[in-house]
Chain A
Amino acid sequence: NAGVTQTPKFRVLKTGQSMTLLCAQDMNHEYMYWYRQDPGMGLRLIHYSVGEGTTAKGEVPDGYNVSRLKKQNFLLGLESAAPSQTSVYFCASSEGKYQPQHFGDGTRLSIL
């Protein structure tokens, strides 16, 4: 029972490089979310999706793009990485808006 799986777990990028973080869930959940976690700031929502083919902006969407081509996958892209995007990124999924979110173990991303 994998739940929510994030890849990669760690990554170091240089400023200006691009990359994609993958989130996969095997619970057939409709809703998926991407958060970033920074010291002293808790979790902040980047983007979310309420179903296959849909995406919406969260609290801190600038510099990120997302896609939900398949129900089980939610991709987070950084087109031109900046040091301010150094963070731990968490993906989560839920059955619906009012349901508890299930989290992956995170991706630690450092941008030099």
Chain B
Amino acid sequence: AQSVTQPDIHITVSEGASLELRCNYSYGATPYLFWYVQSPGQGLQLLLKYFSGDTLVQGIKGFEAEFKRSQSSFNLRKPSVQWSDAAEYFCAVGAWTGANNLFFGTGTRLTVIP
């Protein structure tokens, strides 16, 4: 079965600093992957997705993620964090065959300080 690990529960960065949120997955074949963001009191919003092809994908709000098959990772990055990026971020993995659902990581809460 698939599983997703987000090893960082909470990250604090300064406004303007770069950001990398880690996501590792466990799956026997190449999965498809998503990053979602959740602001307090709201549902999840899609940031970006990877299905196949170019391993560096661009998303909304200036975010990007890189799929590395050899490391089973799909880390989220942003070169310059804004105060409005403070939220919780979830990585999710899906299987091309078998299960119909996504598996979500436990999330990383991002705090941005001035």
Interface residues of A (CB under 8 A from B): 4, 31, 33, 35, 40-45, 48, 50, 56, 58-59, 90, 92, 97-98, 100-106
Contacts and interface: CB of A to CB of B under 8 A. Distances in A.
B100 A104 contact: no
A103 B51 contact: no
Given A41-B106, A43-B90, A98-B51, A105 B43 contact: yes
Contacts of B104: 35, 42-44
B39 to A, nearest CB: 10
Contact of B107 (A33, A42, A104): A42
B105 A42 contact: yes
B34 to A, nearest CB: 6
Give the interface size class of chain B: 20 to 34
Contacts of A43: 44, 90, 104
Contacts of B46: 100-102
A48 B100 contact: yes
A86 to B, nearest CB: 17
